[in-house]
């Protein structure tokens, strides 16, 4: 029983007596008395309340249960339900779906699993030493025997971190905890706020915790913080982060030995000593936890976030952060913001495409190509040697119409719009990120991470030590000679693999050149042969589609190797911190992916059809003597439609394959286990066994998610001038991507260890680089790949009556067939060609035969080239000026966030000052009572100390 007895005015006696001991008759009753003799003024200033008594009572209850468990005379389950705090826990114990130890009080913060095998003696020794060192570090362990597991062979080691351990490492890691409830409102009323109600989630889901002002935890100032209950003060995500920090640095060698490499749970997992290490989900995702002490946050995330029917709802970012940690939270915040911004780009792209459809009938160039009297009377020169015949211009009628859908006046406007959109996206994301940094206590996190979160691999492999000038502690370091050697080897390896990618692309180009002749020999006259298909498929289209598909297959194969090579060379460099490791790996992987995914698009956009030559003087791949592969030419309608085909196949194929990998494969793997988990009785499925069968979320799990989205970002920005519908495809994909990723996290993966990140890391710089490069690429696409500039020059400088009539004839040069070398002439000549003409046409601006400058470039060619260069310079400067102006106008940190940061820092200083003053007054009051002095000397000493402090 607990009783409070009143004493004199200036004295309080608090006695806590264990009634259980007195009733068992095992000797005299244990009496715990806390006598606090304080001066009345000091007592009032300290603010002692009944919360101290509650903590003492809770401690007594836990101590009693632990003693009963150790003695083997535990309270029976039927009687234990009557003890305080055990009603809900004991109801949950029979079904074993719990996140607590068998005593129902201590929470399971981490679980390790292992299996005894034939070669298990060394592993058993490692486990004994490791678990003994964990107990020395203060962790509490509890083992589930293999006979209690479903497979009858797996042991589960449950780990609990008591308050002292949590407080110690929270101090070491400088984890921010609340010290005062925030008095700043979340936001202001927005006009027409009711329009957003259908997209909102309940308030308790969006803000699962009260907003507090926070300060790094200090173990010596626990009464400074708002600690109502020590068991729930640190949330589960923080608890598992602290425990994993201990596991990653705990050794498993015997005392007296110095095997530095025998350290950390990662090595024990890699050598098979343990099979898995993971924190527990708080409940099943499809059902709320029966235990009232369990948060059921996983259930709420699945219900309000992971289901696809919630695709139109906002994301519960605060709950995601609370459950999974800031690093995963910042990823979903970025992905959601990127998807929101894609909506505006998709709408504008759809408008531009609609303009191309509506102006379909007004395209005079396509009308002339399709006209039997114009396009049907123009004989074109062979597009390859021997196999390719002479052909009529109207055979490309369909491709010219298709090209107009994407190559029109609206495309120029859309290219400029996307250059500005990219800037707005990046600038507004910086503001959103700054707001999240403040709300999630990440403002000063990066410096702490650099100093404290040293990778265990770095500590093990770097035996040299030196003094850290900041922390004034000895720490391992990598000598500059070793660092330079590793860097050079890494750079050489990256360069080698990039050259391998380029070689594969050259192979695909050689395939295009060789296969084009084969398609041309099959589809000689589309109007006469293969009538069902020939009208829709040209040799150019058939070659482009098959080459794009082959290129996509090569990309997928090379990606398999890139991932392993990038991880290997990054491990070889031995980065110091986790942040440095991820940044280095990010740069290598993106460089590989950039060359792998975009190189084929760069070829079609900037090289195909640019180095062809003319009949009688064609250019060949690797030279005419070494190769008979003649460089490709573009359609009379331009190469833009081929770039669109390449972009659609690679981009859509990558997104489709990514969704199959992310959704279907995990679903097929876990379908059977999930089915069994739902239909088996609850008491046969412990919480750790249910989580054990789930997929492991690796340290690089988010890396691949970012990589997928950044590659997509490159597609919709670098080559968007060729395909305005690319943002729309990306929007649909991302709406699905958010829910697929949410579904994976909540249903298919074990709960990842919570980790912090203040931003998206190196991906921010990559996005900035891609944004700048996109302005250049789109300007060059509009100038050299599109047919827009030649049409504009003809319209305003060479046409009669400012009309596009006659443009097709003007853009084709004439060549005398009799002058074509024998090597370039087709093997067979069709009957329609015999005696019909003595000249053929080709796409270029050259003087006709018989002219004094025969086959030299005309003045119109140089006018068009000058117009192209002028367009590039003007477009780039306009877009860059607008980009920099927008970036200058939009501050990176919102003004209200700056005000909140300043107010929080002001309150921290004020509260710390008041706290120290109150503690000093309390110490003076206690010393005044315990060591009475003369009134004058006591007052003099008190004033001197106060004056020195204040």
For residue range 527-558, list pLDDT tens digits in order. Answer: 444 444 445 566 677 777 888 888 888 888 88
Separation of CA 169 from chain center? 28
**Of the candidates 665, 787, 771, 798, the residue with the CA atom closest to the CA atom of residue 710:** 771
Question: By three-state DSSP, how is residue 812 classified?
Answer: strand
* pLDDT for 470: 67
* Per-residue confidence (pLDDT) for residue 314, from 0 to 100: 92
* Contact status, residue 805 vs residue 364, Cβ threshold 8 Å: yes
Query: Alpha carbon 753 to chain centroid distance?
Result: 16
Cβ(754)–Cβ(237) under 8 Å?
yes
Q: What is the rounded CA–CA span in Å between residue 201 and residue 211?
A: 18
Q: What is the largest CA-CA distance in the chain?
A: 132
- Which DSSP category does 16 fall into? E
Q: What does the pLDDT read at residue 50? A: 36
- Residue among 521, 533, 251, 215 at smallest CA distance from 389: 521
pLDDT at 155: 93
What pLDDT was estimated at residue 101? 92
Residue 500 token pair: 């391998």
- Which among 13, 54, 51 has a CA at the least distance from the CA of 32? 13
**Interacting residues of 289 by C-beta distance below 8 A, sequence separation 6+:** 97, 282, 283, 295, 296, 299
pLDDT digit string, tens, across residues 447-499 = 555 445 677 777 777 877 777 776 666 777 788 888 888 889 988 988 898 88
Residue keyed to tokens 């109600």: 197
Rounded to an integer, what distance in angstroms lies between the CA atom of residue 718 and that of residue 727? 12
Looking at residue 350, its pLDDT comes to 93
User: 890 with 196: CB under 8 angstroms?
Assistant: no
Cβ atoms < 10 Å from Cβ of 404 = 22
Q: What is the pLDDT of residue 84?
A: 36
Residues in the chain with pLDDT < 70? 1-95, 118-119, 186-194, 255-261, 446-453, 470-473, 520-539, 624-627, 635-638, 663-684, 828-836, 929-950
Which residues are registered as beta bridge partners of 32?
16
pLDDT the model gives residue 330: 95
| Residue of 383, 395, 857, 379 lying closest to 633 (CA atoms) | 383
Average per-residue pLDDT for the chain: 78
Angle at 267 between CA 266 and CA 271, to 5 degrees: 120
Model pLDDT, residue 873: 92
Q: Give the CB-side neighbour count of residue 794, counting CA atoms within 13 A.
A: 18
**Interatomic CA distance for residues 390 and 384, integer angstroms:** 10
pLDDT of residue 733: 93
- State the number of CA atoms in the 13 A half-sphere of 820 facing the CB: 25
Instruction: Supply 214's token pair.
Output: 């926070």
Q: Packing angle between helix 480-522 and helix 578-606, nearest 10 degrees?
A: 30
- Which residues lie closer than 8 Å to 10 by C-beta, 6 or more apart? 37, 38, 39, 40, 43
pLDDT, position 299 = 93
660 contact partners, CB below 8 Å, separation of at least 6: none
Contact yes or no for 693/673 (Cβ under 8 A): yes
């Amino acid at each position: 029983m607990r009783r409070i007895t009143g004493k004199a005015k200036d004295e309080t006696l608090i006695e806590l007596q264990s009634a259980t001991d007195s009733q068992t008759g095992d000797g005299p009753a244990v009496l715990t008395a806390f006598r606090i003799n304080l001066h009345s003024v000091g007592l009032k200033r300290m603010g002692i309340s009944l919360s101290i008594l509650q903590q003492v009572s809770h401690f007594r209850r836990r101590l009693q249960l632990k003693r009963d468990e150790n003695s083997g005379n535990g309270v029976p389950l039927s009687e234990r339900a009557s003890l305080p705090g055990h009603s809900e826990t004991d109801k949950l114990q029979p079904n074993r779906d719990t996140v607590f130890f068998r005593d129902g009080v201590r929470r399971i913060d981490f679980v390790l699993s292992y299996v005894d095998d034939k070669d298990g003696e060394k592993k058993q020794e490692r486990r004994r030493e490791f678990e003994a060192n964990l107990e020395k570090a203060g962790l509490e362990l509890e083992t589930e025997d293999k006979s209690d597991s479903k497979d009858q062979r797996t042991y589960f080691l449950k780990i609990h971190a008591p308050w002292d351990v949590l407080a110690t490492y929270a101090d070491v890691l400088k984890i921010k905890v609340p010290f005062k409830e925030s008095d700043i409102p979340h936001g202001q009323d927005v006009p027409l706020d009711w329009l957003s109600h259908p997209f909102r989630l309940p308030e308790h889901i969006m803000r699962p915790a009260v907003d507090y002002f926070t300060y790094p935890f200090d173990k010596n100032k626990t009464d400074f913080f708002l600690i109502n209950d020590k068991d729930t003060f640190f949330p589960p995500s923080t608890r598992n982060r602290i425990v994993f920090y201990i596991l990653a640095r705990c050794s498993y060698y015997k005392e007296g030995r110095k095997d530095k490499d025998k350290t950390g749970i990662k090595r024990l997992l890699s050598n098979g000593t343990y099979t898995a290490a993971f924190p527990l989900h708080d409940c099943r995702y499809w059902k709320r936890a029966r235990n009232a002490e369990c948060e059921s946050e996983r259930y709420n995330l699945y219900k309000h976030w992971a289901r696809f029917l919630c695709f139109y709802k906002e994301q519960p970012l605060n709950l995601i952060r609370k459950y999974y940690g800031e690093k995963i939270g910042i990823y979903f915040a970025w992905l959601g913001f990127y998807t929101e911004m894609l909506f505006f780009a998709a709408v504008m792209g759809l408008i531009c495409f609609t303009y191309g459809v509506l102006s379909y009938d007004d395209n005079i160039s396509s009308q002339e190509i399709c006209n039997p009297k114009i396009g049907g009377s123009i004989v074109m020169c062979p597009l390859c040697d021997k196999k390719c015949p002479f052909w009529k211009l109207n055979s490309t009628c369909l491709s010219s119409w298709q090209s107009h859908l994407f190559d029109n006046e609206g495309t120029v406007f859309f290219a400029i719009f996307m250059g500005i959109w990219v800037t707005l996206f990046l600038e507004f994301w910086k503001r959103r990120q700054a707001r999240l940094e403040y709300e999630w206590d990440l403002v000063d996190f990066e410096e702490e991470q650099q100093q404290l979160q040293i990778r265990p691999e770095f500590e093990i492999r770097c035996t040299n030590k030196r003094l850290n000038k900041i922390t004034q502690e000895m720490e391992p370091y990598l000598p500059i000679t070793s660092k330079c050697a590793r860097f050079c080897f890494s750079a050489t390896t990256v360069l080698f693999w990039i050259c391998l990618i380029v070689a594969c692309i050259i192979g695909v180009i050689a395939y295009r050149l060789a296969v084009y002749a084969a398609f041309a020999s099959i589809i000689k006259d589309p109007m006469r042969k293969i009538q069902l298909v020939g009208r829709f498929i040209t040799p150019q289209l058939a070659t482009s589609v098959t080459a794009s598909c082959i290129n996509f297959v090569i990309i997928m194969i090379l990606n398999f190797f890139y991932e392993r090579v990038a991880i290997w060379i990054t491990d070889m460099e031995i980065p110091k911190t986790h942040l440095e490791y991820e940044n280095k790996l990010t740069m290598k992987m993106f460089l590989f992916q950039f060359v792998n995914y975009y190189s084929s698009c760069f070829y079609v956009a900037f090289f195909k059809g640019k180095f062809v030559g003319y009949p009688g003087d064609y250019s060949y791949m690797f030279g005419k003597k070494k190769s008979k592969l003649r460089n490709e030419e573009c359609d009379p309608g331009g190469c833009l439609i081929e770039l669109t085909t390449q972009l659609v196949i690679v981009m859509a194929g990558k997104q489709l394959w990514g969704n199959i990998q992310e959704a279907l494969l995990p679903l097929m793997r876990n379908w059977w286990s999930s089915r069994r988990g739902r239909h088996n009785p609850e008491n046969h499925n412990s919480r750790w066994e249910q989580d054990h069968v789930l997929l492991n979320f690796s340290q690089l799990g988010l890396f691949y998610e970012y990589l997928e989205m950044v590659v997509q970002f490159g597609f919709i920005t670098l080559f968007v001038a060729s395909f305005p519908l690319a943002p729309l495809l990306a929007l649909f994909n991302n709406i699905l991507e958010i829910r697929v990723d949410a579904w994976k996290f909540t249903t298919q993966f074990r709960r990842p260890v919570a980790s912090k990140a203040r931003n998206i890391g190196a991906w921010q710089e990559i996005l900035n680089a891609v944004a700048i490069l996109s302005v250049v690429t789109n300007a060059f696409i509009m100038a050299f790949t599109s047919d827009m500039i030649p049409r504009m020059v003809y319209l305003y400088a060479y046409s009669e009556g400012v009309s596009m009539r006659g443009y097709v004839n003007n853009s084709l040069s004439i060549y005398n067939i009799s002058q074509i070398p024998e090597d370039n002439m087709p093997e067979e000549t069709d009957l329609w060609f015999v005696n019909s003409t003595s000249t053929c046409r080709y796409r270029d601006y050259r003087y006709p035969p018989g002219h004094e400058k025969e086959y030299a470039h005309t003045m119109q060619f140089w006018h068009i080239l000058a117009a192209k260069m002028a367009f590039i310079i003007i477009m780039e400067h306009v877009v860059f000026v607008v980009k920099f102006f927008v970036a200058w106008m939009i501050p990176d940190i919102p003004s209200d966030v700056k005000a909140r940061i300043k107010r929080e820092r002001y309150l921290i200083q004020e509260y710390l000052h008041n706290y120290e003053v109150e503690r000093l007054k309390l110490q003076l009051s206690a010393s005044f009572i315990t060591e009475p002095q003369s009134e004058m000397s006591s007052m003099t000493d008190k004033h001197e100390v106060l004056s020195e402090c204040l």
